[in-house]
């Protein structure tokens, strides 16, 4: 004999964590961080044909203090890396990062000293989106996958500990330039 049986029909039960996840996933505010050709596809995703507004992402924020999702679209140079980290640190918690395109994810075809070989060496990445450049449909699919991840993210101390561990693991990972074998 549980609580469900004592309540009138039509009464909905849920946890605070799942309810917060549901509302949080529907109100993402992305920061504008377009660095190369992937940014054109990101802008097309926000236009009328693909309409990110149906996912609660009407406006790309110019201020990191108003954003909770950073879409890194394009290659990141060594000079841009400290700026990227500063913008990430200024974003409100909880925050998520989507690495858009092969250049942001692994340096792409630019295997030289000037380009960071993966944005995950600067900030912890939640979703990797492959492609050169990825289509707007692929970006929407990645955003929906991020919605699923946000829906099941724990609240409170558990989330803070998980975020710290993920960030530490991402920053201490072996750089792609030092790897050997098939992954290089």
Question: Per residue in 91-104, pLDDT tens?
Answer: 888 888 999 988 88
Confidence (pLDDT) at 141? 92
Instruction: Spell out the residues 6+ positions from residue 165 whose beta carbon is closer than 8 angstroms to its own.
Output: none
Q: What is the mean pLDDT of residues 80-86?
A: 90
Which has the higher per-residue pLDDT, 72 or 51? 72
Statement: the pTM of the whole predicted model exceeds 0.85: no
Backbone angles phi, psi at 122, to 5 degrees: -110, -50
Task: For residue 130, list its beta bridge partners.
Answer: none
Whether a cis peptide bond, with omega within 30° of 0, leads into 125 is no
Instruction: Spell out the residues 6+ positions from residue 176 whose beta carbon is closer than 8 angstroms to its own.
Output: 106, 107, 117, 118, 183, 184
| Residue 4 clears pLDDT 70, i.e. is over it | no
Confidence (pLDDT) at 108? 78
pLDDT, the chain, mean: 80
Label residue 58 by pLDDT band (50, 70, 90). confident
Task: For residue 72, list its beta bridge partners.
Answer: 99
| Residue 45 clears pLDDT 50, i.e. is over it | yes
Confidence (pLDDT) at 165? 81
Backbone angles phi, psi at 49, to 5 degrees: -65, -40
Which of the given ranges, 82-91, 112-121, 160-169, has the highest pLDDT on average?
A: 82-91
Confidence (pLDDT) at 5? 60
Q: What is the mean pLDDT of residues 33-50?
A: 84
Strand 30-31 relative to strand 69-73, pairing: parallel
| Residue 1 clears pLDDT 50, i.e. is over it | no
Number of residues assigned to the chain: 184
Distance CA 166, CA 126 (A): 9
């Amino acid at each position: 004999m549980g609580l469900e049986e004592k309540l009138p029909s039509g009464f909905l039960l849920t946890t605070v964590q799942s309810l917060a996840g549901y509302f949080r996933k529907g109100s993402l505010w992305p920061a504008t961080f377009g660095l190369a050709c992937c940014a054109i596809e990101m802008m097309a995703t926000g236009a009328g044909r693909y309409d990110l507004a149906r996912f609660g992402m009407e406006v790309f924020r110019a201020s990191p203090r108003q954003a909770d999702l950073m879409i890194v679209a394009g290659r990141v140079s060594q000079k841009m890396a400290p700026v990227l980290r500063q913008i990430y640190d200024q974003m409100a918690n909880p925050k998520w990062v989507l690495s858009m395109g092969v250049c942001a994810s692994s340096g792409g075809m630019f295997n030289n000293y000037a380009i960071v070989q993966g944005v995950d060496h600067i900030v912890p990445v939640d979703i990797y989106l492959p492609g050169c450049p990825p289509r707007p449909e692929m970006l929407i699919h990645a955003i929906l996958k991020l919605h699923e991840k946000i829906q099941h993210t724990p609240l409170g101390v558990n989330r803070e500990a998980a975020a710290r561990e993920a960030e530490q693991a991402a920053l201490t990972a072996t750089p792609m330039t030092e790897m050997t074998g098939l992954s290089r």
